[in-house]
Amino acid sequence: MILILMTMLITQGGDMLIKLPEPEFTYKSIEECIQQRRSIRSFKDKTLSLQEISNILWVAQGITDNERGYRAVPSAGATYPLILYYATKHGLFKYIPESHGIKQTMEKDLRKDIAKAALDQMFIADAGMVIVITAIFENTTWRYKKRGVRYVHIEVGHCAQNIHLEAVALGLGSVPIGAYHDDELKELLELDQEDPLYIIPVGYPE
């Protein structure tokens, strides 16, 4: 995949990023997506397109107001504590909302390792894309103190719901995963200040 993307490399803050294509809007109604959404735990061995990845990341944390920096999900005080990572057979990537780009943080395919950390739910490893939503709680708690913890948990729900519904709109399947060993997942993704909150496998239903 990296070879295909060589013409879409950009630099931001000294980091080399892969620029994603702009999101393409579908015409499936939100009501249809809600009606058709189901938890999918069986996936085809098929890689998601870069356009599909772009759409999914944009609905999760994409910039919807360039002037004010507002994102696709509501955030208490616009503090934006959430960070998105996703694993594919090509490695681990971090989403950078400001440029709608991605940064590769590891070259290893971590999907099986993530599945093992998620109490051996090995179907996770079959998904073309495994999203891990993390948070830096201090981004929100510095302003809202203890209440900010609740606001972060509310926000990750908004984010995850957008992902699940966009998966339906794209003809894909997904499933919410909340059972995992926090420390194992944090070590696996080499997280520092961030805490993992949510795993979402996304792929083509079998």
Domain spans of the chain?
A: 6-203
Q: What residues have CB less than 8 Å from 139, skipping those under 6 apart?
A: 79, 80, 81
2 confidence band (pLDDT: 50, 70, 90)? very low
Asked whether the predicted pLDDT for residue 5 surpasses 70, the reply is no
Average pLDDT over residues 196-200: 98
12 confidence band (pLDDT: 50, 70, 90)? low
Average pLDDT over residues 24-39: 95
For tokens 């249809």, the residue is 32
In the 3-class helix/strand/coil scheme, how is the chain assigned residue by residue?
CCCCCHHHEEEECCEEEEECCCCCCCCCCHHHHHHHCCECCCECCCCCCHHHHHHHHHHHHCEEECCCCEECCCCHHHCCCEEEEEEECCEEEEEEHHHCEEEEEECCCCHHHHHHHCCCCHHHHHCCEEEEEEECCHHHHHHHCCHHHHHHHHHHHHHHHHHHHHHHHCCCEECCECCCCHHHHHHHCCCCCCEEEEEEEEECEC
Query: In the prediction, which pLDDT does 14 show?
Result: 63
190 confidence band (pLDDT: 50, 70, 90)? very high
Q: What is the spatial distance between Cα 86 and Cα 54, in angstroms, rounded to a whole number?
A: 12
4 confidence band (pLDDT: 50, 70, 90)? very low
pTM of the model: 0.93
- The 10s digit of each residue's pLDDT in 146-166 is 999 999 999 999 999 999 999
- The 10s digit of each residue's pLDDT in 33-56 is 999 999 999 999 999 999 999 999
Query: In the prediction, which pLDDT does 1 show?
Result: 44
CATH topology of domain 6-203: NADH Oxidase (3.40.109)
- The 10s digit of each residue's pLDDT in 59-118 is 999 999 999 999 999 999 999 999 999 999 999 999 999 999 999 999 999 999 999 999
Average pLDDT over residues 156-184: 98
Query: In the prediction, which pLDDT does 11 show?
Result: 65
In terms of Cα–Cα distance, which of 83, 56, 60, 34 is closest to 159? 60
58 confidence band (pLDDT: 50, 70, 90)? very high
